[in-house]
Copies of this chain bind each other. A is one copy, B any other.
Amino acid sequence: MDLKNVGIKDIRFPVKIREKGGTRQDTVALITLQVNTPKQFCEDCVSTLLGLLGKYGDDISPPAFPALLKELKTELMADSAKLTMTFPYFIEKKAPVTKTAGLMEYTCSFTGTSENDDDLIMSMWVPTTTLCPCSKEISKYGAHNQRAEIRLDVKFSDFIWLEDLISMVESGASCEVFSLLKRPDEKYVTEKAYENPMFVEDAVRKVAGLASAHPSITWFSVGVESFESIHKHSAYAIVTSDTMGC
């Protein structure tokens, strides 16, 4: 029997991620590596991974990730390798009315599964607001709303910045979420969500529509989990480009 996928799980390492603005952002990645290698696991995987993180870790980006993965495969004489880096990523965002700036945090990840550049999957978990259309329709005033997390995974033909994908996802919910809001901003987001009611399936459809229309996205998956304010459980919807009847 030929064993696939030996590896290491949950090792943390400080990395720098290339930002759209041209600078690099310091963050901390949680890393998992799986390889199909004839080398002895006992020390080689960790040693090679840490060595290459030292070499590549201060300039991680979608173009650089496949190069790191390729060198990892070569050094480990592996038939295949899968590397995932998950990290908090910060984007300065301006409040919608007062334009007060604040850092928003998003969880993002890169997953590479071969040496083909287009196998790279970029993933992001984006907090948003959903407001229930049913609750709005039947109530004299108000409508229940809640934080909802949208997860997007994409493969792509041409490079796309995390900043642009996150912005696309944020436009798909009842309203986007901010770290810092002054009173005029809070009025704005409250009213915008009320004017824009969405079930989880509506948010999934909207983000999936945007992803389908994006010229560089070749595959995607969109999931929305809404932490219902009137229940203890979550509402959930998911779609992938494979199963869409487009």
Contacts and interface: CB of A to CB of B under 8 A. Distances in A.
Contacts of A208: 1
Interface residues on A, range: 35 or more
Contacts of A225: 9
The oligomer's copy count stands at 4
Given A4-B239, A7-B236, A42-B199, A190 B135 contact: yes
Given A6-B236, A238-B4, A230 B139 contact: no
A34 B104 CA distance: 21
Given A103-B13, A205-B1, A182 B43 contact: yes
A145 B145 contact: yes
A232 B179 contact: yes
Contacts of A32: 236
A52 interface: no
A46 B238 CA distance: 17
A246 B1 contact: yes
A193 B142 contact: yes
Interface stretch (A60-68, A116-124, A126-134, A161-169): A126-134
A10 to B, nearest CB: 5
Given A142-B194, A147-B146, A200 B6 contact: yes
A208 to B, nearest CB: 7
Contact of A201 (B41, B141, B193): B41
Contacts of A56: none
Nearest to A235: B8
Given A142-B193, A147-B229, A232-B179, A237 B3 contact: yes
B187 A46 contact: no
B237 A7 contact: yes
A45 to B, nearest CB: 8
Contact of A129 (B90, B105, B230): B230
Nearest to A149: B232
26 contacts: A1-B209, A2-B245, A4-B244, A6-B201, A6-B235, A7-B235, A8-B233, A12-B88, A12-B105, A13-B105, A28-B28, A28-B88, A34-B236, A40-B134, A42-B183, A42-B199, A129-B144, A135-B190, A139-B186, A142-B143, A145-B145, A146-B147, A147-B231, A177-B229, A177-B231, A189-B230
